Structure 1
């Protein structure tokens, strides 16, 4: 699915609103929206070019090798649903593997249970990995930040120049509401410059 690819036809001149594009507000001189060096589109705030997808992605989080797709503004909530479903399936599989084991003492116990035992151990390891991934994403969502912004905070110009630790944080409730209940593209520039007391 489209994770929120930035398309060249979305660029709208300031002051124009044709209903399809996203109006980019006037940016103060010290922060500039840059044009991507790869696909040559003007990147909105929080967008990043993915070299594997060869597109700029809005509110870029990461490129998921398991899905072979980027996780961005349009599909990030579905990625959380995917992780949740995966966790439930792993917990169910772990329960099935554990309930298949019988613990009666016998000389051939290991030989009779080796398949279920190995299955349970593998499921346990994958469950821990998926649980940690889900919890870390939920934490970042509650702070209204992305994996890319969290890992590269010192290299991103709009975060380096901000007086706030996270200029997009609107509080846990609004962050979660905006993430799970908002179905439109957000003009992050408006929140950024409002939080930094700059004119929009």
Structure 2
């Protein structure tokens, strides 16, 4: 029972949620800009900050619990129809042969990978994120990036609020005693801010070139990329088109067809 609860990510999600609300409570209870606005009856900024925190928590759970794009059968059933997917899997001269997963024995669409943690194959696999205890794949990758952006906004605002509440004292001991909880919250928020900035920058860069973390890190081992040049990406359509497709096109993509079309195009 305990192993099942841990495997489903309950502990990670509960810890993240608890830490988020503890830090928020500290920021509201100390003599920070939020508290001063409340005392003056100016509730717009406190309410806006609270709503951003709520939105970040909701996005966290949405990304964490969302199907990242698990491959269920050899024929895709997410609205594209089985015949179209099976037809696209027929080996072509310019397209690497689709392989069967050695673990779940399903035929993997191009850009899919088996996740050892989830024990499932994921379409357009990016990585398994221990922070959300879920894979990041074709279905939830855009929402993961949106979550990072909202989370970064909440964290940077929290840093500003925490700094506004640090007050001077006559001695170091009194200063630490008066600002201890606020300093702890500032430390947690500061560490998370650095992590989220790095994650968001990396993912925006990869999205802009239509590449995944797995493809970027393991290019030399992936059948459809290892024979391409170091700077060649068969899925890259330019920054603007890549961003538009990623954030605005909500459908499964037949990547083998894109690969075949781009490989056939003269360079």
* Counterpart Cα distance in 1 of 2:198 and 2:67: 26
- State the 1:42 CA deviation: 0.8
Q: Measured at CA, do residues 120 and 11 of structure 1 come closer, stay the same or move farther in structure 2, by a change above 3 Å?
A: closer
Q: Determine which of 212, 216, 220 is the counterpart of 1:146.
A: 212
Q: Determine which of 97, 106, 131 is the counterpart of 1:32.
A: 97
Q: Measured at CA, do residues 161 and 47 of structure 1 come closer, stay the same or move farther in structure 2, by a change above 3 Å?
A: same
- State the 1:162 CA deviation: 2.7
* Counterpart Cα distance in 1 of 2:228 and 2:155: 41
Matched, 1:133 2:199: yes
Equivalent position SS for 2:225 = helix
* Counterpart Cα distance in 1 of 2:76 and 2:89: 12
* Counterpart Cα distance in 2 of 1:9 and 1:32: 14
| Counterpart for residue 54 of structure 1 | 119
- State the 1:66 CA deviation: 1.7
CA contact (8 A) 2:89 2:98 kept: no
- State the 1:143 CA deviation: 0.6
| Counterpart for residue 168 of structure 1 | 235
Gaps of 5+ in 2: 1-65
Which whole-Å deviations, capped at 9, do the CAs of 1:72-123 have from their partners, x for residues lacking one?
A: 00110111111112112212221221111123x5122232223212321221
144-153 or 117-126: which moved more?
117-126
Number of residues of Structure 1 aligned to a counterpart in Structure 2: 192
* Counterpart Cα distance in 1 of 2:71 and 2:188: 39
- State the 1:25 CA deviation: 4.6
* 1:158-197 equivalent positions in 2, closer than 5 A: 158-163=224-229, 165-197=232-264
Which whole-Å deviations, capped at 9, do the CAs of 1:148-174 have from their partners, x for residues lacking one?
A: 000001110100123562111110001
- State the 1:9 CA deviation: 5.2
167-176 or 21-30: which moved more?
21-30
CA contact (8 A) 1:11 1:42 kept: no
132-141 or 116-125: which moved more?
116-125
* Counterpart Cα distance in 1 of 2:165 and 2:219: 47
TM-score w.r.t. the length of structure 2 is 0.67
Matched, 1:65 2:130: yes
| Counterpart for residue 139 of structure 2 | 74
Gaps of 5+ in 1: 13-17
* Counterpart Cα distance in 2 of 1:175 and 1:56: 24
Which whole-Å deviations, capped at 9, do the CAs of 1:1-23 have from their partners, x for residues lacking one?
A: 111111215269xxxxx952324
- State the 1:191 CA deviation: 1.5
Higher helix share: 2
